[in-house]
Amino acid sequence: MINYHDKFSTFNPGSIMAFVKSVLALAATALLAASAASAATTLNFDEQAESSLFIYSTPLTDRYAPLGITFSGTTTPQNTRGGYILDQASNFGFDALSGTNFLAFNAPTTGNVENIAFATASAFVSIWGASSFGGTFTMNAYDAAGTLLDSAVADFSTNWTQLSVASIGIARVELIGNNGAYAYDDLHVSAVPEPSTWGMLLVGGGMLGWLARRRHSA
């Protein structure tokens, strides 16, 4: 009969420790590479000069699709089909948070919805908002199946206020406005590392724990 305890007891702890450390090092290297390549994207809507009037602009949809980010809004009325990138001279009562443009809305009713979808699942999303009319604003985060993951609420004013959500697997955020005229600026999106990388870290951590227990029992 094979005595597995005896076989495991002949393992060289030093060799196992070296192997585990190499696995953890590979995982850490992969995480650093992922972070450097595609960890975060920030949109400040300032890539080009914009009009200060809605009538000379079109709703933002797929301008940032090459970055994996698309925008959509409701269909009616005219100015709620998603936000419009406008120049800060558009008489909103405040300047852009950075640069000269912001994502502007002029909705005659409350509850206007703007959706921002991500081609790659994200872990953290934030955006700044302002309104000269005040009001309570909400950002909801959903996964690819439509499950609510996180939510944030803030009262807006002419001073820029940040909304942020955090969770693994954010595929879309929903921005809900609560007054007629307001704007968003500086959207920040942080991506999720590959699941296989997290798996390597978990396996390596588990093996380190197992080795520690064996040494303690010995």
pLDDT value of residue 113: 86
Give which of 117, 48, 114, 124 is closest to 87, Cα–Cα: 48
pLDDT value of residue 103: 95
Residues 70 and 85 in one domain: yes
pLDDT value of residue 21: 57
For residue 7, being part of any structural domain is answered with no
Cα 205 to Cα 169: distance, rounded to the nearest angstrom: 23
Residues 23 and 70 in one domain: no
CATH number for 51: 2.60.120.200
Provide the residue range defining the domain that includes 75: 40-191
Residues 206 and 181 in one domain: no
Residues 134 and 212 in one domain: no
Residues 79 and 130 in one domain: yes
Residues 172 and 132 in one domain: yes
Residues 205 and 148 in one domain: no
Name the domain count of the chain.
Answer: 2
Per-residue pLDDT of the chain (218 residues; tens, 9 = 90+): 555 444 444 546 566 556 655 655 555 544 544 444 457 899 999 999 999 998 998 889 999 999 999 999 865 544 456 789 999 999 999 999 999 999 998 876 666 889 999 999 999 999 999 999 888 999 999 999 999 999 999 999 999 999 999 999 999 999 998 777 899 999 999 985 445 445 555 555 556 565 666 666 65
Residues 30 and 101 in one domain: no
